[in-house]
Amino acid sequence: MNPYIEHQIDNNIVIRTFKESTDSEDFMWHRDQEDRVIYPIVDTDWLIQLDNELPKKIEAGIRIQAGVWHRLIKGSGELRIRIER
- The pLDDT tens digits for 14-38 are 999 999 999 999 999 999 999 999 9
pLDDT computed for residue 1 by the predictor: 81
CA distances in angstroms from 48 to 10, 55, 83, listed in the order given: 24, 5, 14
> In the prediction, which pLDDT does 66 show?
98
Average pLDDT value for the chain: 96
- In this prediction, residue 49 carries a pLDDT of 98
The mean pLDDT value for 59-79 works out to 96
Compute the average pLDDT of residues 47-60.
Answer: 96
Between CA 54 and CA 70 the distance in angstroms is: 11
Please say whether the structural domain 5-84 has been given the CATH code 2.60.120.10. Answer: yes
Distance CA 15, CA 13 (A): 7
pTM of the model: 0.92
Residues with Cβ within 8 Å of 84's Cβ and at least 6 positions away in sequence, in order, are 12, 13, 36, 37, 38, 39
Where are the chain's structural domains?
A: 5-84
